[in-house]
Structure 1
Amino acid sequence: MIINRNFKRGFVLLFMMGLVLQMAVARTQRESTSAKKGSINPALFGHLEWRNIGPANMMGRITDIEGVPGNPNIVYVGTASGGIWKTTNGGITWKPIFDEQPVASIGNLALEPGNPDVIYAGTGEANVRNSISFGNGVYKSPDGGKTWWHMGLQDTERISRIVINPKNPNIVYVGALGHAFGPNKMRGVFMSTDGGKTWEKVLYTDERHGVADMDINPQNPNIVYAALWLFERKPWTFTSGDEKGGVYRSIDGGRSWKKITVGLPKLVGRIGIKVSRSNPEVVYVMTASKEGTLYRSDDRGETFRLVSKDTQIVSRGFYYTDLRVDPADENRVYAVSSRLLLSIDGGKNFKRISASTHVDFHSLWIDPENPNRIWQGQDGGIGVSYDRGKSWEYVNNFPLGQFYQIYADNRQPFYYVGGGLQDNGTWYGPSRNKEPFGILNDDWRMISFGDGFHIVAHPKNPEIFLTESQGGNVMRTDMRTREQQNVSPQARRADGGPASTLKFRFHWNAPIIPSPHDLKTIYVGGNVVFKSTDFGSNWEIISPDLTTNDPEKQKSAGGPVWPENTTAEFHCTIISLSESPIQPGVLWAGTDDGNLHVSVNGGETWKNVVDKVPKLPPFSPASHVEPSYISAGMAYCTFDRHMLDDFGPYVFKTTNFGRTWKNITGDLPENAYVWVLREDPKNPKVIYAGTELGLYVSFTGGNEWMKLHMKNLPTVAVHDILIHSKENDLILGTHGRSIWIFDDVSFLQEISSDVLRKPAHLFAVRPAIRYVSKPTRYGIGDKVFRGPNPSYGALITYYLQEKLDKKAEIKIEILDKSGKVIRELKNFPREAGLNRIAWDLRFEAPRPRRERKVEEDFFGRGPRGPQVLPDIYSVRLTLKNQIYEKPVKVQLDPTVNVSSGDLALQLEYTSRIRDMQSFVNDGLSALDMLKEQLEARKKTIKKQEERFPKEVMEAVDNHLKKIKSIQNILARPEGGSRLSAEARLGERLRSLFGSIDGVNASPTKAQVQYFDELEKEYKSGMAEANQYLGQTVKEINNELIKNQVPSLFIPDPIKFEIK
């Protein structure tokens, strides 16, 4: 079968891309950014940015790492659900290079031999666990990841390996595993002879077997190996392996294939294949089988022999079963498994290496030109060794966290966020901090281990948590004492056997929620609902079994090779649990086997209402129930059928406790299955949907949906969403890119067609906190992840219907309670759509001597105005004759204890210093003006020396010296090091301003005394400047006029009295 993509040649493609871009620009200009046909254009939000706060210390699952042979600087990382990342400096910094593509899951990467700027990316992870995303075929980049072309094979869904012919890079092989949750025909080995423009399926047995691995003989690339594997997953089980799978070999470049059976087992699970680079006669096959785990061929795959029965090199067969051979030593074999293992005797014996990094390995790259350099990828991120695996650096400086659920508290001055991570425990950390560096990895703390899911903080002590890991394992942890107690409703360990052996069944990701009416009341969902009124110490059952309790879906998972029971396949369980925020006791419970129950009396009775959901396929998992803030009977429910091979979104709404439902899925994309839905607590018409393809919002209560990625949110699965009750932030728990925050979403709650019809609009401004930012770290380098803090101060968001140039009549001002303008903001964005600028809670800065250059300031920050006092202020936006005004409350850091009188005294002194700085700069500026004129006159006189008496030149030089002398009183001489000359009045004033202003407190006695000294210097220095401006300069001006030299323009003396 030949698959032709009608691929255009490069220059034609670039031409078409340019044409499309021009058309898009023209279309955008025609449509502008106002509402069209009643909907809201996503381009409105294109200038607004999310904050990705991490964490990066526990990254996410890595599916592939590829380096450039012999070049230690360039490395590419493919991830399970976070796209592709690249470093060009050996791992010091990393950049995402796949964010704009429609999928985020990467199965395999391949660099073209001899031209590593050409990259192939096979999308869709092939480590087919229960929490996997999907892909849509093959992508190719011609320029190191700057641009990508989609090369087809869309329905392969998962690509395990891409192999490029080392002698003819136009020949490319793609191994496709295919659908994980059902049969499909787009699987097997695909071959291209034209660099991916067209594809031919060259190895295929049936719609259930896909490719687990491939490799090629580096010396004779006509010899290609492929492993076919049967894998199929259902929500309650999976099947891995059969006798039809196995190892296939082609000796004619992939045009024909033969199954290899000599020496290999018949019943096989997942298979890994690797050819020795140093001796291609040697081929290794790793597999999950009952007979053994590692086989070796010394005749290019004609026959194999068993070399190891060690099960640890395979571990969980479907999840690992991968290996690498040292490119310089055919007997040095690495097992890429739960642990990273090394054999130096051809696979007979293995020992563990890399114990200092994370476990659960999925990728290993060994530099063929320097086998000492090895990069590894695992469930927790990446590591690198420079000594052939003896020691490792754990590289954790870009955020790939795979969150399931998140939480946020209300601690002061900044709330904390946290949540549970896939295979990386449960963590919490600050949403922002007082560090200039931002949020770093060591700001995050791990609460509990295991696969992390739900997290609940104690209502009276934010350092005590309930967390849940796989199978309903609930821990209560006091982070102050590190005491941790297992408080699970079922004390028995759940894994190791089928769900049928347990009294209660808990999902892999069992819900645990606090009551919105009593935060010490906790609910946990198993197959029944448990309730605790003492934060987990004791539990009572408040429901019958709410599932179908189908015994056929409670058996051992895995097989037929090896069974596996980790609780990941436990079924007939509750997966969604919630209580109405309006009415206590209205409880909702959704199950993974298609039931949806509601109780209106605190669990005394329950009613299954799933049959009232129109046209819902049977056994659809009720992934999330969201009770409304409007009425007790109103709720939303999402159903997620992707593990039944149906990736479509299903979103419904009821207003009568589930008696009837309305489908509000609307125009959500066909593959955007929904993980979570949140109703905005301030505007219930605004609904947020977290899907496998990203974040969507509806401004109409459903049906009409818009992607809400703004400027920088990448394609990533959004598993959880919160709207912070106090700060009004929108918080996302992504499964692949950690936590993202958009600060203050008032604009989303207010935006409407009426707003967009106006030339401008100013949105509500949330209260701003006045606090002090100081570093507690120094010299941290660049090999760290820094989660950005929001801009300090009041975040001002405004809408402009059209883009405005610098000449437009627009102003943004800050007013005090009396209506007096205390600040006019400069250099704010003027783009069409929504814009944002921060007011830094300060009055105007001192007037400058001249336009300031950044390099003039040692610390890169210019002079600032005094801080405003905590109070109510106003923001005023004026566009031509239209005025828009909103209040803004400035609050003091609640962790600081200082009186209002002390702050008022601080403001008095900083204001006086600011005014003195302004007048000093005015004086310097006036003297600069005279100095420039005198230097120009000096040049004129020098050109015609014979015309002028020498006394004229002497007089000019004398006055230039006088100006310099006065300026040296007011400021340090310009040029040279800041330490090369004693600080003068201007520098001393600035220094004193900083020392008084840098804390929320009144000035010290020493500072007041120093101010008095400086005030005397100030009066003396300014009097001398004014003496020159008002009197002395007239002498030289008269001399110039007398000798027919152009006169000076003399600025007025400075009125420097401070009120």
Structure 2
Amino acid sequence: MKKIALFYSFLLLSTIIFAQSIVKNVPFTNIGPSVMSGRVVDLDINPNQPTEFYVAYASGGLWYTNNNGTSFSPVTENAPTQNMGDIAVDWKSGTIYIGTGESNSSRSSYAGIGILKSTDNGKTWINVGLPDSHHIGRIIINKNNPDDVVVGAIGHLYSSNKERGIFKTTNGGKSWKNVLFIDENTGVIDISVSPTNSNIMYAASWERTRKAWNFDGNGQNSAIYKSTDGGSTWTKITNPKSGFPSDKGVGRIGLATFNDNIVYALLDNQNRRPAQKKDKKNGLKKEDFKTMSSSDFLNIDSKKLDAYLKENRFDKKYTAKSIKEKVKKGITKPVDIATYLEDTNAILFDTPVIGAEVYKSTDGGKSWSKTHKGFIDGLYSSYGYYFGIIAVNTKNENKIYIGGVPLLKSDDGGKTFEPIDKENVHADHQALWVNPNASGHVIDGNDGGVNITYDDGKNWTKNNSPAVGQFYYINVDNKKPYNVYGGLQDNGVWYGPSNYKKSKSWESSGQYPYKRIGGGDGMQVQIDSRNNNIVYSGSQFGYYTRHNLETGERFSFKPKHELGDSPYRYNWQTPILLSDHNQDILYMAANKLLRSMDKGESFEVISGDLTTGGKKGNVPYGTIATISESPFQFGMIYTGSDDGLIHLTTDGGNSWKKISNDLPQGLWVSRIIASQHKKNRVYATLNGYRSDNFKPYAYISEDMGNTWKSIANDLPNYPINVIKEDPTDENILYLGTDNEVYVSFDKGQHWQVFSNGIPKVAVHDIVIQAREKDLIIGTHGRSLYKANITSLQQYNNVKNKTIAIFKLPETRFSSSWGSSWSQFSKPFLPKIKVSYFTSNTGSVKLEILADEKNVLYSKSLKADKGYNYLDYDLSVTEKSLKIYFDKKKIAIKKADNGKYYLPKGEYILKLTIGKESSTENLVIK
């Protein structure tokens, strides 16, 4: 209960901080995109009306539809997090439980804050416990009592903890009992209840440990448990005699219960496959070179070796002839051939594990048998931890579905499988619902949103109206209107117009406003400022492409190390940077910094290893995560690594200096930013999320990193992903955390919550379009948001004024104001947005004047301390017609909506607080 009290204290503090923020009224607008969607983690469908259901997105919140996915509305806008693990709905009472914190254990799986509950269909939410569970696998509501709930908690992702296993409440979350605890590294990933008896449940425990450099998703404690009393007590039912694997290779398990006794399990079996006999006819293998002697290597047929080198994309400079010469001289060894092809990421795909297996029990879990012969190849490789869903049609024992990269169906109880996803269905399947009352009706949630089929996968509809894109990185060009570019989790790289407005009109034109220019997990983007059609973008682990958007020309690159050297280690989000001093120069970082002088055609190494050297594991680590070059000096470059090191060179890489000794050690350097205002100024943010450390770390240095000062003093406990300087005012900084956006007007001494219109969602990147004075926010779960910051950039000019109006936009007169094309269309209503600043909360009087004496319109308003906005509809009172316009012989017709609107001319907009006023010219052309 102490943890719950602490949570509510923190929530109250967050509410107070927002209420006191002087920028709380500055509006953000979502500018999409939505068509590619984001990762779905769970679905809950009304069994009596399947066109009504909820969809939970990994980091995009909970959404509701009652028209079969034609449209969705968000129901967690006012919730304290958008990080979803699992949902459960009692459709009779309207009670919803959300298990926050994604269960997939991916590098982008965000932690949660426990169990959220709503008893009014999602209008309001309360936290009812388990705040230290971090990640929730499954929630089961007793169909006869919505206060009786069983929860499977996976626990912390990057560290050990006790709040994991199975918890049960009988009073709606007022208190919880840990009814199954295995150990501090083993949680529960899935629970399945018998559709014929709510007392019978099966649960899957999962032992897993993740570090920034390694993921072990299997262990002796991964097993299946059973309860016959509604989840109050549990018994382990898998053991060496049961027929179900029970060794250290047991990974994630998904469960699907047909009735009390028949249950299916999808196992990620991480045990190694039996050794295969080598077929010499297949030619050379990478493994051959690891044990090959130099003499044997020199005897390889050169044509055969050249073919191998070409097939494996060795640099063109490496030929059979050149390598053999180096082997003869002792410069190169045969093992270097194998090493050249290896990187940490290759382990994910090269490791020959058994992989996916389906097991079935017909006696309530006492015994199990594998349903199929051989291997289910192609469902997933060695990363089965990311999947684990299995579903059974509860009216047909033999009809089952399993999800991985493809979606597979079996009509014979798992003996054979066939793929049923089509060209409009995204890969990577995470959630399934099978309609027992309508054979072939399946709703699928995947990494690209929601798909629905009524003919068992022959045809699918795509239901992706929510803007729930998971952006990693964003950028803008200088076109008019300018475009926004960004890389998304598992959805490639897209770009689109900054004036995007949500509309379905594109379905008629066939042209969605955003365009895709890359696949995989989309990462960083750079745009050539001389020609905005030249774009560099890429995917995970350093695979990049230079695009010409006008001609369609593409050039792909991923620099390779020299033969004989250690392979480069590329970060998941490999950083690239076009030099401001010469847009032909491209920097790219692995564990060393690489530089291209010819637009990525060739690269040279300009540093040694700028990390601590990496660690043994199956995830690339010890990599450069961020690069920044000073706009004041070419070759003055900062790098920050994922293991906590910051380096500086002032001579283009000839010499480097480590400048992070006085900073906290071992944290991910999420950003290093060379100031655009002062040559010696630099900002750094560190992120401890990958060790379950949620503290904010932000620093400024005025002497190129020789000394650092913390600027995170009044920030709440959310890890920081990005910091950005304002281009016009050196005192203004913007900052994105795993939950909010902030702005500082005094170089980080104090921070203001800056999130009007944005829910509590992770912010991965911030970019400013300087010409238009727009701030773009790239969220990891709610796509993109835009705010105009013209007025914010004037803060230090107005902060001491009682009231100040910012420059008004010019407006063009239209005779159609207040009119409509027909009785069935809405009238065209003009408006201008007036932004103003007040030093205190109070009442404000708005007046529109023709001159100093003639008031044409007036209204009283309430204003908050700080920035305020009002919409003025350009109308005038009927009284003002006689007082002013009639005397001036200016005829104004009444519009169709009964209002009178200002004619062309120049007017004065005046705001008054007490005795203080501010005016601004209002021009209607």
Query: Which stretch of structure 1 is more off in the superposition, 833-842 or 500-509?
Result: 833-842
Higher strand share: 2
Q: Which residue does 1:342 correspond to in 2?
A: 409
Counterpart check, 1:530 vs 2:594? yes
- Structure that is richer in helix per residue: 1
Displacement of 1:368 after TM fit? Answer: 4.1
**How does 1:817-966 map onto structure 2 within 5 Å?**
830-833=862-865, 834-837=867-870, 849-850=893-894, 852-853=896-897, 877=911, 882-885=916-919
Cα pair 1:286 1:294 within 8 Å, conserved: yes
Structure 1 partner of 2:46: 68
2:780 paired with 1:735: yes
User: Percentage identity across aligned positions?
Assistant: 33
* 1:276–1:245 distance in 2 versus 1, CA, 3 Å: closer
Q: Which of 220, 237, 242 is the equivalent residue of 1:243?
A: 220
Shift of 1:750: 2.9
| 1:574 matches 2:624 | yes
Kindly provide the amino acid, as one letter, of the partner of residue 464 in structure 1. I
Matches within 5 A, 1:70-109: 70-109=48-87
Q: Following the alignment from structure 1 to structure 2, what is the Cα–Cα distance between the partners of residues 368 and 167? A: 20
Cα deviation per residue 1:1024-1045 (whole Å; 9 max; x = unaligned)? xxxxxxxxxxxxxxxxxxxxxx
Task: Assess if the C-alpha contact under 8 Å between 2:4 and 2:129 holds in 1.
Answer: no
Contact 1:638 1:652 in 2 (8 A): yes
1:429 deviates by 0.5
Structure 1 range deviating more: 399-408 or 461-470: 461-470
- Aligned-partner SS, 2:157: coil
Tell me the residue number matched to 1:460.
Answer: 530
Q: Quick one: distance in 1 between partners of 2:441 and 2:2?
A: 40
Secondary structure, in 3 states, of the residue corresponding to 1:471? helix
Q: Residues 586-625 of structure 1: CA distance to partner in whole angstroms, max 9, x if unpaired?
A: 2100011221101122222110111032xx1x32221101
* Corresponding residue of 2:262: 282
Per-residue CA shift, 1:279-325, capped at 9, x if unaligned? Answer: 43210111111366110001111111111331444543100021111
**Amino acid of the structure 2 residue aligned with 1:510:** T
Partner SS state of residue 285, structure 1 = strand
Question: Residues 433 and 439 of structure 1 are in contact (CA less than 8 Å); yes or no, is this contact kept in structure 2?
Answer: no
Aligned match of 2:344: none
Q: Which amino acid aligns with 1:170?
A: D
Structure 2 CA distance, aligned partners of 1:585 and 1:794? 46
Map of 1:751 onto structure 2 = 795
| CA distance in structure 2 between the aligned counterparts of 1:287 and 1:748, rounded to whole angstroms | 54
| CA distance 1:809–1:152, shift in 2 (3 Å) | closer
Distance 1:163 1:270, change over 3 A: farther
Query: 1:669 is matched with which residue: 705, 709, 716?
Result: 716
- Aligned: 1:362 with 2:421: no
Change (3 A) 1:407 1:344: same
Residue equivalent to 2:235: 258
Structure 1 residues 736 and 792, CA gap change in structure 2 (3 angstroms): farther
Instruction: Answer whether contact 1:156 1:178 (CA < 8 A) is retained.
Output: yes
- The residue type equivalent to 1:263 in the other structure is G
Matches of 1:419 and 1:822, distance apart in 2: 51
Q: Per the alignment, do residues 429 and 723 of structure 1 end up closer, same or farther by CA in structure 2, a change over 3 Å counting?
A: same
**1:635 to 1:792, Cα distance in 2 relative to 1, 3 A:** farther
State whether residues 175 and 212 of structure 1, in contact with CA within 8 Å, keep that contact through their aligned partners in structure 2.
yes
TM-score, L = length of structure 1: 0.70
How far apart, CA to CA, are the structure 2 residues paired with 1:611 and 1:503?
27
Structure 1 residues 502 and 93: alpha-carbon distance in aligned structure 2, compared to 1, 3 A threshold: farther
The answer for the alignment partner of 2:314 in structure 1 is none
> Counterparts of 2:651 and 2:741 in 1: how far apart (Å)?
34
One-letter code of the match for 1:283? V
2:892 and 2:901 in contact (8 A); partners too: no
Question: C-alpha displacement at 1:237, in angstroms?
Answer: 1.1
In structure 2, the residue corresponding to 1:570 is in which secondary structure? coil
| Mapped partners of 2:922, 2:591: distance in 1 | 49
Higher mean displacement: 177-186 or 835-844: 835-844
Query: Are 2:445 and 1:416 equivalent residues in the alignment?
Result: no
Question: Does 1:511 pair with 2:547?
Answer: no
Q: State which of 386, 394, 397 in structure 1 corresponds to 2:462.
A: 394
Structure 1 residues 501 and 538, CA gap change in structure 2 (3 angstroms): closer
Query: Is residue 2:386 matched to residue 1:352?
Result: no
State the distance in 2 between where 1:302 and 1:382 align.
Answer: 36
2:764 maps to a residue whose letter is H
CA distance in 1, matches of 2:190, 2:414: 19
Give the secondary structure class of the aligned counterpart of 2:208. Answer: strand
What is residue 470 of structure 1 aligned with on the other side?
Answer: 540
Secondary structure of 2:792's counterpart equals helix
Report the equivalent of 1:485: 555
- Offset of 1:850 from its aligned partner? 4.6
Residue among 478, 491, 497 paired with 1:430: 497
Change (3 A) 1:293 1:433: closer
Partner amino acid, structure 2, of 1:706: Q
- Who is 1:762 aligned against? 805
Equivalent-residue separation in structure 2 for 1:373 and 1:211 (angstroms): 29
CA distance in 1 between counterparts of 2:528 and 2:900 reads 44
Change (3 A) 1:839 1:158: same
Q: Which deviations, in whole Å up to 9, do the C-alpha atoms of 1:976-1026 show, x marking residues without a partner?
A: xxxxxxxxxxxxxxxxxxxxxxxxxxxxxxxxxxxxxxxxxxxxxxxxxxx
Question: Number of aligned pairs?
Answer: 804
- Structure 1 unaligned residues grouped into runs of 5+: 8-15, 29-38, 493-498, 558-568, 779-790, 855-861, 891-906, 908-1059
CA deviations 1:641-662 (Å, max 9, x no partner) are 1112212111111110111111
For residue 768 of structure 1, report the CA deviation from its aligned partner: 8.7
Measure, in 2, the Cα distance between the counterparts of 1:705 and 1:82.
25
- State the alpha-carbon separation in 2 of the partners of residues 303 and 234 from structure 1: 35
Q: One-letter code of the match for 2:699?
A: F
CA displacement at 1:842 relative to structure 2: 12
In terms of mean alpha carbon deviation, does 793-802 or 841-850 score higher?
841-850
- Mapping for residues 514-663 of structure 1, pairs under 5 Å: 514-550=578-614, 553-555=615-617, 557=618, 569-613=619-663, 616=664, 618-663=665-710
Correspondent of 1:299 among 331, 341, 363: 363
**Deviation for aligned residue 1:837:** 4.4
Q: Does 1:810 align with 2:846?
A: yes
Name the SS of the counterpart of 1:732 in structure 2: strand
Please give the TM-score of this superposition, normalised by the length of structure 2: 0.80
Contact 2:30/2:783 (<8 A) preserved: yes
Match for residue 179 of structure 1?
156
Letter in structure 2 aligned against 1:66: D
| Cα deviation, residue 91, structure 1 | 1.9
The answer to whether the Cα contact below 8 Å between 2:846 and 2:860 also exists between their aligned partners in 1 is: no
What letter is aligned with 1:728?
K
1:160-206 deviation digits (Å, cap 9, x = unpaired): 10012234433211000000101000000001122222110011111
SS at 2:582 equivalent? coil
Alignment of 1:654-733 (within 5 A): 654-670=701-717, 672-710=718-756, 712-733=757-778
Structure 2 CA distance for partners of 1:809 and 1:68, relative to 1, 3 Å: closer
Asked if the contact 1:675/1:691 (under 8 Å) is kept, the reply is yes
User: Could you tell me how far apart the structure 2 residues matched to 1:160 and 1:828 are?
Assistant: 52
Contact 1:4 1:198 in 2 (8 A): no
Letter in 2 for 1:651: A
Provide the rounded CA distance (Å) in 2 between the counterparts of 1:519 and 1:438: 37
Amino acid at match of 1:747: S
Q: CA RMSD in A?
A: 3.7
Structure 1 residue 698: deviation in Å? 2.1
Residue 373 of structure 1 aligns to which amino acid in structure 2?
A: H
Equivalence for 1:373: 441
> Aligned equivalents of 1:480 and 1:769: distance in 2?
34
Measure how far apart 1:759 and its partner are: 3.9
- Give 1:659's aligned amino acid: N
Cα deviation 1:35-86 (Å, max 9, x = unaligned) = xxxx996454444421101000111111111111121342111111111111
Q: C-alpha displacement at 1:534, in angstroms? A: 3.0
**C-alpha displacement at 1:371, in angstroms?**
4.6
Cα contact 1:468–1:474 (8 A) shared by 2:
yes
Cα–Cα, structure 1 residues 231 and 333, in superposed 2: closer, same or farther, change >3 Å?
same
